[in-house]
């Protein structure tokens, strides 16, 4: 009764207020970028009185009673309600609803609401890209997406990165398929600011990509304009200063001389430095090669918008980065221009076009491996000066103690000349046709075409009897042309029956072709021995050997695919996919491949028993299983070609003939990936907490093992020949992924979000069906057996060497231990004691075993963002635990410089149990063993950023919608016990990765930047 009375009174009150009606005007903008939003729906709550905003985000609504509620709603934004107190204008800022379950996620040949997705799919938004400021797109996936690991090939400008989705599954190519707006592309040269979202398909959801999807799929959606949107102009710029993140602690001149004296004395030789006084610190070679305050600059500019039928986006960018080593000779320049257009030709037909032009210029020095600049900086003794009395580069003496590989790194930089340019055009034209109600046809063609030119000049130079001496100058040039296109034609049919059974059916075909050629030539006797004259046009000297070459290729793939998606009331979800692939890479006996998969999900939170839960707002369980393929194998492996080298000397001159190339395998087929995944998506506390967890088992079967070791009687060791590529291996990756995101608005001024993700991974090789049962790779030291193996029961690419058991402290211990002389020298006190693994009473190479592997057990990311008033703060961290790395940047010669850990060496009984003695005599201490394997676990603060946006009252006056300045530090600090430059680097090789020959460290970069929107 009381209630009724209250209602009645309220009604009276309301009616009386009716007399007070206002016309409310105002403006609606986006909270994220401050830009006006057109066509926002505004209605007076519980009435039919409504209007929409105009092109500039302005609105005017009549007859609004006092205390009525205005509801502002727009797709993709959180709906906002404002109570009308008086007739003053009401300006509203809507926030983008990026996390909403209604968000649409691309899944390949279509898209799906996030709520309905039944596969393991992760999305990285443009906001994350904004915050991380990656130079290359791949960096944005490190630590932000569970199940994805990104390793750098070094810190040199423009150096490559490798993405591994759910571990290393093959000894072959492990990189994921990259699809840009529907066509096959590549990430490495994209401008990160052109990207709207990155979607990662990690499980059988990718099966729609059949024989190219086994390594996972990265789907890139580029930014486009929005219909009915006023031109939105954005300009971003930053300048950064780079320095090295690490210098190795090397011996100074005095320490070095004393150590050498000790080693020479132990070897029974005369002291090389009878008088060490006055040597001092000597030359800091790392200091000589590393530079500080090395610039990086980036500008990008974009305009986007749209009318009722047209959308457009135009952007351009410029990035220039110099290297912290040899800034003038290692630099990277990337200019991009992009145009995106969309048009509704009719009610039923929409066309889209998107074109990106990229220009890239990269110069590099030798930055990895034996002979790299850093290798020389590490190994050149501090006792040598950089320049001699005449200002010429000092030569590193060619003595047995220094060998013939170490040269003055500054001279090396000075004598390095090369240039690489790439011009690339890629894009797509797509047509969507709503044939009938519920039936839509899509036809699109995507293309990449690139031309690159490379030039390197080998200056005539004499380092005094080193392997890098060049007796005759030459210039080598190449021109490479690569093209591909993907043609997709597919149709979708969707309908809902009886308001409960929803069906989505997709069927179509993709035609893919890649073709291109390369041309190489060398000219000799460059005029004046100078880079300025280094061109074949001027280098007219000829060689007696053939110094030109070329290649051409033409690879094709034809695919048919279909997908059925079904759900019952959005609660029970199911999808099935089937793809049929033909590829020119497969042998005649295995031309056609079929790839089936199924996924299913159950939205538990929609069940009545959970519908009214206060804590749990969403819960979905999902599972998927499917078979995918990998066709990234050498071309023409099924045919036997005369591609071997046949060169001999008749009449005193070279003659070239023909010889057998790599042996054929007509049974060659794709690798087969069986992917199983169960997972759950959970949202708690009004969506403030968002949890995703997955367990996966990926088994890669029929691994393509190229140059499989085979009996030598087949002649496969001949120049240019090789063993066939055979489907002969199997690898399993199992793991858990867990990601939790918590975000909250604590007050009007303070909001934050924290994201943590963790992935565990267990890698095991199940089969290697060659005769030896293992594959080996990688390199360690000089002339030592291969250090890495792929072998049954072990992780792929594990390190295979001798296990150590401390240091022999005295002769009695040596005598009590099996003889180590088979390793090359009889052991003495102070030498490393190796473990007799096979127990045969002798230490030899048969005692090698698993001494570590480069695959991390666990990787995780912890990312935090905080907004307080006009300040914003983000920090991104990444951790990798359990990955081992091999120290291989030391030239193990008596006179090469050393890291200062040798100061803790064994010098007598009880002095050290970890570092062996020094001597110029023969020892077995440099044989590949645990001594050289280090735990390279690390935690890295990848990015730290603090920004400040000018308050609206200032920006409004200036006619701009947003002005933000920020400062950031990339790669602020890496916590690790690893001795080398970069525990996170790898050459990316599945067998032979994680061997550190002196990786160029990633730079620490201090950035100052500006974002401007109007």
Partner 1 sequence: MKNIKYLIASLAFLTSISCTDDFIDRDTVYSIDSENYFNSESDYYNALIGAYDMLQSSYVNVLLGEIASNNTLCGGESATDVIGFQQIDDMIHTPVNSNLKDVWNWMFAGVNRANYIMEFQDKTNFPGKEIIIAETRFLRAYYYFELVKWFGPVPLKETRFELGDETSIPRSPVSEVYALIEADLQYAVDNLDYTAPQVGRVTKGAAQALLGKAYLFQDKFSAAASILENLILNGPYDLVTDYDTIFENEGENGIESVFEVQYTDVEGAGFGCLQCSEGNVAVGFSGVRNYNGPLFTSGFSFNVPTQDVVDEFEAGDNRKDVAILDIEAWSASTGASYGTGYEHTGYFNRKYLPRVRSSQAQGDLNLTNPNNYRAIRFADVLLMAAEAFNRGGIDDTKAQNFLNRVRERAFGNTSNNVSLTGTALTNAIYHERRVELVGEGHHFFDLVRTGRGTQIPGFTPNKNELFPIPIEEIQFSNGNWQQNPGY
From residue 879 to residue 918, what is the string marking binding to partner 1 with x (rule CB under 8 A)?
Answer: --------------x-------------------------
Report whether 16 contacts 8 (CB < 8 A): no
From residue 370 to residue 409, what is the string marking binding to partner 1 with x (rule CB under 8 A)?
Answer: ----------------------------xxx--xx-----
Q: Does 549 bind partner 1 (CB under 8 A)?
A: no
> Two tokens at 201?
């398909």
Q: Which of residues 815-874 bind partner 1 (CB under 8 A)?
A: 822-825, 845-846
The residue from 45, 328, 472, 977 that contacts partner 1 (CB under 8 A) is 472
In terms of Cβ atoms closer than 10 Å to its own Cβ (0-12, 13-18, 19+), residue 97 is middle
Q: Does 545 bind partner 1 (CB under 8 A)?
A: yes
Q: Does 641 bind partner 1 (CB under 8 A)?
A: yes
The residue from 469, 805, 813, 952 that contacts partner 1 (CB under 8 A) is 469
Nearer CB in complex with partner 1: 847/872: 847
Please give the Cα distance from 143 to 758 (Å, whole number): 9
Q: Which of residues 19-58 bind partner 1 (CB under 8 A)?
A: none
The residue from 591, 816, 868, 870 that contacts partner 1 (CB under 8 A) is 591
Pick from 20, 19, 38, 18: which is nearest to 28 by CA?
A: 38
Nearest distance in Å: CB 810, partner 1: 22
Angle at 979 between CA 976 and CA 982, to 5 degrees: 65
Nearest distance in Å: CB 160, partner 1: 21
Q: Give 304's Cβ-side CA count (13 Å radius).
A: 26
Using left for φ > 0, alpha for ψ between -120 and 50, and beta otherwise, residue 897 falls in beta
In terms of Cβ atoms closer than 10 Å to its own Cβ (0-12, 13-18, 19+), residue 567 is buried
From residue 188 to residue 227, what is the string marking binding to partner 1 with x (rule CB under 8 A)?
Answer: ----------------------------------------
**Segment near partner 1 (CB under 8 A); pick from 122-130, 657-665, 730-738, 993-1001:** 657-665
Q: Does 557 bind partner 1 (CB under 8 A)?
A: yes
Q: Does 471 bind partner 1 (CB under 8 A)?
A: yes
From residue 911 to residue 930, what is the string marking binding to partner 1 with x (rule CB under 8 A)?
Answer: -----------x-x-xx---
Q: Does 487 bind partner 1 (CB under 8 A)?
A: yes
Nearer CB in complex with partner 1: 647/749: 647
Residues 6+ apart with CB under 8 A from 726: 665, 667, 668, 704, 705, 708, 769, 770
Report whether 14 contacts 68 (CB < 8 A): no
Containing 162, the helix (H) or strand (E) segment is strand 161-165
Nearer CB in complex with partner 1: 74/109: 109
Nearer CB in complex with partner 1: 702/757: 702
Q: Are strands 177-180 and 217-222 parallel, antiparallel or unpaired?
A: parallel
Nearer CB in complex with partner 1: 28/461: 461
Nearer CB in complex with partner 1: 11/641: 641
Q: Which of residues 407-446 bind partner 1 (CB under 8 A)?
A: 435-439, 441, 443
Report whether 180 contacts 192 (CB < 8 A): no
Nearest distance in Å: CB 551, partner 1: 8
Nearest distance in Å: CB 268, partner 1: 13
> Two tokens at 189?
């040269």
Q: Which of residues 931-990 bind partner 1 (CB under 8 A)?
A: none
Q: Can you give the three-state secondary structure of 28-85, one letter per residue?
A: EEECCCCCECCCCEEEECCCCCEEECCCCCEEEEEEEECCCEEEEECCCECCEEEECC
From residue 330 to residue 369, what is the string marking binding to partner 1 with x (rule CB under 8 A)?
Answer: ----------------------------------------
Please give the Cα distance from 914 to 808 (Å, whole number): 10
* Sign of CA pseudo-dihedral 727, 730, 731, 734: positive
Query: What's the CA dihedral at 360, 365, 371, 372 to 10 degrees?
Result: -90
> Two tokens at 908?
């007598």
Nearest distance in Å: CB 709, partner 1: 7
For the chain, the residue count is: 1014
**What phi and psi, each to the nearest 5 degrees, are found at residue 951?**
-60, 155
Please give the Cα distance from 549 to 552 (Å, whole number): 11
The residue from 82, 659, 728, 862 that contacts partner 1 (CB under 8 A) is 659
Pick from 676, 981, 632, 933: which is nearest to 802 by CA?
A: 933
Nearer CB in complex with partner 1: 269/307: 269
Report whether 383 contacts 253 (CB < 8 A): yes
Q: Are strands 474-497 and 832-834 parallel, antiparallel or unpaired?
A: unpaired
Q: Does 661 bind partner 1 (CB under 8 A)?
A: yes
Nearest distance in Å: CB 41, partner 1: 32
Q: Does 718 bind partner 1 (CB under 8 A)?
A: yes
Please give the Cα distance from 352 to 342 (Å, whole number): 4
Q: Does 717 bind partner 1 (CB under 8 A)?
A: yes
**Segment near partner 1 (CB under 8 A); pick from 108-116, 718-726, 948-956, 966-974:** 718-726
**What phi and psi, each to the nearest 5 degrees, are found at residue 561?**
-145, 155
**Segment near partner 1 (CB under 8 A); pick from 71-79, 223-231, 468-476, 1006-1014:** 468-476
Report whether 66 contacts 85 (CB < 8 A): yes
Please state, as a whole number, how many other Cβ atoms lie within 10 Å of the Cβ of residue 234: 19
From residue 766 to residue 805, what is the string marking binding to partner 1 with x (rule CB under 8 A)?
Answer: -----xx---------xxxx--------------------
**Segment near partner 1 (CB under 8 A); pick from 240-248, 640-648, 680-688, 729-737:** 640-648
**Segment near partner 1 (CB under 8 A); pick from 153-161, 385-393, 407-415, 635-643:** 635-643
The residue from 258, 353, 479, 582 that contacts partner 1 (CB under 8 A) is 582
**Segment near partner 1 (CB under 8 A); pick from 120-128, 336-344, 651-659, 1004-1012:** 651-659
The residue from 53, 126, 254, 583 that contacts partner 1 (CB under 8 A) is 583
Nearer CB in complex with partner 1: 465/570: 465
The residue from 491, 518, 666, 777 that contacts partner 1 (CB under 8 A) is 491
Q: Does 314 bind partner 1 (CB under 8 A)?
A: no
Please state, as a whole number, how many other Cβ atoms lie within 10 Å of the Cβ of residue 728: 17
The residue from 259, 660, 828, 991 that contacts partner 1 (CB under 8 A) is 660
Please give the Cα distance from 736 to 146 (Å, whole number): 9
Nearest distance in Å: CB 710, partner 1: 6
Please give the Cα distance from 690 to 538 (Å, whole number): 65
Place of tokens 């735990």: 935
Please give the Cα distance from 350 to 431 (Å, whole number): 6
Nearest distance in Å: CB 633, partner 1: 15
The residue from 268, 391, 652, 910 that contacts partner 1 (CB under 8 A) is 652
Report whether 187 contacts 139 (CB < 8 A): no
From residue 84 to residue 103, what is the string marking binding to partner 1 with x (rule CB under 8 A)?
Answer: --------------------
The residue from 82, 339, 610, 646 that contacts partner 1 (CB under 8 A) is 646
Q: Does 270 bind partner 1 (CB under 8 A)?
A: no
Residues 6+ apart with CB under 8 A from 99: 687, 690, 741, 743
């Amino acid at each position: 009764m009381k209630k009724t009375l209250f209602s009645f009174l309220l009604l009276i009150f309301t009616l009386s207020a009716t007399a007070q009606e206002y016309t409310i005007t105002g403006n609606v903008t986006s909270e994220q970028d401050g830009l006006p939003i057109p066509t926002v729906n505004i209605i007076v709550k519980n009435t039919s009185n409504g209007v929409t905003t105009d092109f500039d985000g302005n609105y005017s609504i009549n007859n609004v009673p006092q205390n009525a509620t205005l509801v502002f709603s727009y797709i993709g934004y959180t709906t906002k309600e404002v109570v009308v107190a008086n007739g003053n204008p009401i300006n509203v800022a809507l926030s983008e609803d990026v996390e909403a379950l209604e968000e649409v996620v691309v899944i390949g040949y279509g898209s799906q609401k996030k709520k309905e997705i039944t596969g393991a799919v992760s999305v990285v938004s443009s906001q994350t890209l904004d915050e991380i400021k990656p130079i290359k797109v791949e960096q944005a996936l490190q630590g932000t997406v569970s199940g994805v690991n990104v390793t750098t090939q070094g810190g040199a400008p423009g150096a490559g990165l490798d993405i591994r989705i759910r571990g290393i599954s093959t000894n072959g190519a492990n990189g994921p398929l990259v699809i840009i707006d529907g066509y096959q592309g590549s990430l490495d040269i994209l401008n990160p600011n052109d990207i709207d979202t990155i979607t990662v398909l990690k499980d059988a959801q990718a099966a729609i990509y059949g024989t190219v999807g086994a390594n996972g799929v990265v789907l890139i959606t580029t930014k486009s304009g929005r219909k009915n949107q006023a031109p939105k102009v954005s300009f971003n710029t930053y300048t950064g200063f780079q320095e090295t993140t690490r210098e190795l602690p090397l011996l100074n001149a005095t320490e070095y001389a004393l150590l050498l004296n000790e080693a020479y004395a132990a070897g029974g030789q005369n002291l090389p430095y009878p008088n060490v006084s006055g040597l001092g610190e000597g030359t800091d070679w790392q200091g000589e090669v590393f530079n500080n305050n090395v610039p990086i600059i980036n500008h990008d500019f974009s305009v986007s918008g749209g009318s009722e039928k047209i959308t457009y986006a135009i952007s351009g960018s410029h990035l220039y980065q110099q290297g912290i080593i040899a800034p003038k000779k290692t630099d990277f320049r990337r200019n991009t221009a992009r145009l995106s257009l969309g048009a509704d030709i009719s009610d039923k037909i929409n066309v889209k076009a998107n074109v990106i032009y990229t220009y890239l210029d990269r110069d590099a020095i030798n930055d990895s491996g034996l002979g790299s600049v850093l290798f020389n900086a590490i190994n050149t003794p501090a006792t040598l000066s950089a320049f001699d009395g005449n200002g010429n580069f000092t030569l590193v003496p060619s003595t047995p103690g220094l060998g013939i590989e170490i040269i003055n790194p500054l001279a090396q930089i000075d004598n390095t000349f090369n240039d690489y340019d790439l011009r690339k055009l890629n894009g797509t034209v797509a047509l969507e046709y709503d044939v009938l109600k519920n039936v839509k046809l899509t036809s699109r063609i995507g293309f990449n075409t690139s031309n690159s030119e490379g030039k390197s000049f080998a200056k005539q130079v004499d380092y005094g009897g080193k392997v890098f001496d060049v007796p005759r100058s030459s210039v080598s040039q190449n021109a490479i042309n690569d093209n591909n296109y993907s043609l997709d034609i597919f149709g979708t049919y969707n309908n809902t029956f009886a308001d409960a059974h929803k069906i989505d059916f997709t069927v179509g075909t993709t035609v893919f072709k890649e073709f291109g050629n390369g041309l190489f030539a060398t000219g000799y006797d460059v005029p004046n021995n100078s880079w300025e004259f280094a061109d074949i046009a001027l280098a007219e000297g000829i060689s007696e050997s053939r110094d030109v070459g070329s290649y051409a290729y033409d690879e094709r793939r034809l695919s048919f695919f279909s997908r059925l998606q079904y759900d019952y009331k959005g609660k029970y979800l199911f999808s099935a996919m089937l793809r049929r692939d033909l590829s020119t890479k497969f042998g005649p006996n295995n031309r056609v491949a079929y790839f089936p998969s199924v996924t299913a999900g159950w939205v538990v939170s929609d069940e009545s028993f959970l519908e009214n839960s206060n804590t749990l707002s969403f819960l979905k369980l999902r599972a998927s299983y499917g078979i995918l393929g990998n066709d990234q194998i050498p071309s023409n492996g099924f045919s036997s070609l005369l591609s071997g080298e046949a060169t001999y000397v008749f009449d005193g001159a070279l003659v070239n003939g023909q010889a057998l190339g790599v042996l054929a395998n007509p049974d060659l087929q794709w690798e087969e990936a069986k992917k199983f995944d169960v997972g759950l998506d959970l949202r708690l506390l009004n969506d403030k907490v968002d949890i995703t967890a997955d367990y996966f088992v990926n088994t890669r079967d029929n691994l393509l093992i190229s140059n499989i070791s085979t009996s030598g009687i087949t002649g496969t060791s001949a120049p240019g020949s090789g063993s066939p590529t055979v489907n002969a291996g199997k690898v399993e990756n199992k793991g858990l992924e867990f990601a939790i995101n918590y975000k909250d608005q604590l007050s009007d001024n303070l909001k934050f979000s924290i994201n943590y993700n963790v992935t565990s991974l267990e890698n095991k090789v199940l089969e290697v069906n060659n005769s030896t049962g293992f594959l080996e790779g990688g390199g360690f030291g000089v002339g030592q057996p291969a250090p890495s193996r792929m072998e049954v029961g072990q992780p792929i690419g594990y390190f295979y060497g001798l296990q150590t058991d401390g240091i022999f402290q005295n002769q009695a211990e040596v005598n009590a231990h099996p003889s180590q002389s088979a390793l090359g020298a009889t052991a003495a006190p102070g030498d490393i004691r190796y473990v007799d693994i096979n127990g045969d009473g002798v230490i030899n190479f048969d005692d090698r075993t698993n001494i570590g592997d480069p695959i991390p057990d666990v990787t995780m990311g912890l990312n935090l963002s905080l907004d307080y008033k006009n300040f914003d703060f983000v920090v991104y961290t990444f951790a990798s635990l359990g990955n081992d790395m091999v120290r291989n940047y030391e030239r193990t010669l008596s006179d090469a410089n050393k890291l200062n850990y040798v100061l803790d060496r064994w010098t007598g009984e009880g002095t050290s149990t970890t570092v062996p003695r020094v001597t110029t005599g023969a020892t077995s201490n440099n044989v590949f063993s645990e001594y050289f394997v280090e735990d390279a676990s690390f935690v890295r603060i990848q990015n730290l950023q603090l920004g400040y946006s000018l308050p609206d009252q200032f920006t409004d006056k200036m006619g701009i919608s947003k002005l933000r300045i920020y400062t950031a530090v990339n790669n602020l600090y890496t916590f690790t016990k690893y001795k080398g430059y970069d525990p996170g680097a790898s050459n990316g090789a599945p067998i032979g990765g994680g061997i550190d020959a002196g990786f160029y460290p990633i730079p620490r970069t201090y950035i100052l930047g500006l974002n401007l929107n109007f």
